[in-house]
Structure 1
Amino acid sequence: MKKLIAVVIVLIGFTFQANAQEVKTVSLEQTKGEFTQKALTLSEGTYVFEVSNNNAAPEVGLVLIEAGKDGTDAKNHIKNAYVSQMVKHGKKETSKEVMLKKGTYKYFCPFNKTPQYTLIVM
């Protein structure tokens, strides 16, 4: 009976490890009118975006959309990529977890008026 319980516990442990996803952090820095990271290439997975404000504007943020969609329409925004609160001068804020699948995305800040940069997920 003890062997059976031990086997079940080991199997449950392997199941949890197989289902556990590693969450990676993508650090982005904004300066006046731009992100310092002009393009990103990531592997498919779960990410948290960390945005820092290096005297870019009083408050900055992050918008992530699928390439080809209208970034001015909030319904196209990937809401979990929004930072938890506006990023003030000299501060950092993070997003919720975002599951990125293979494809091309665009990221930008509407408050600091950055260009739309390309994020490729392979």
Structure 2
Amino acid sequence: MKNLVVGLFLVAFTLTATAQDKMDKNVVKTVSFEQTEGEFTQKALTLSEGTYVFSVTNNNAALEVGLVLIEDGKDGSKPENHIADAYVSQMVKHGKTESSKEVVLKKGTYKYFCPFNKTPQYTLVVK
């Protein structure tokens, strides 16, 4: 009887741990960026694989700013290389914040930048 109770406990624990692990992978996380004139204040990021929403705040950077995310090694000047879901929903005006759609990031290296505020390309690593 004792072995049956221990066995049931282990099965329940395993099922709970597996369900929790699946729930953690389905959580959408927000990454907040701030742009000032000519730059993002976040110079590099390291994230885990998962689903993200990018939030961009325009801190007197330019009349309007945005966000472009590309896989490292791709030409950022070509829109077909952009990860379109990472675009903010609308151009971000002075003092405002806008967010992207949900973006699933897999392991790898990405670059992010703003073509309107002419920022450098910064590195985002997903482990």
State the TM-score, normalized to the length of structure 2: 0.82
Query: Matched residue pairs, number?
Result: 109
Mapped partners of 2:66, 2:80: distance in 1:
17
Which 5+ residue runs of structure 2 have no aligned equivalent? 1-15
User: SS where residue 99 of structure 1 aligns?
Assistant: strand
Query: What residue is the counterpart of 1:97 in the other structure?
Result: 102
Work out whether 1:32 is the aligned partner of 2:58: no
Is residue 63 from structure 1 mapped to residue 80 from structure 2 by the alignment? no
Please list every run of 5 or more consecutive structure 1 residues that lacks an aligned counterpart in the other structure: 1-13
Alignment partner for residue 76 of structure 1, among 78, 81, 104?
81
User: Which structure has the greater CA radius of gyration?
Assistant: 2
Quick one: percent identity of the two aligned structures?
78
SS in 2 for 1:80: helix
Deviation at 1:121, TM superposition (A): 0.1
**Counterpart AA for 1:71:** G
Structure 1 residue runs of 4+, over 6 Å off? 14-18
TM superposition shift of 1:98 = 0.1
CA distance, structure 1, for counterparts of residue 69 and residue 124 of structure 2: 9
- TM-score if structure 1 supplies the norm length? 0.85
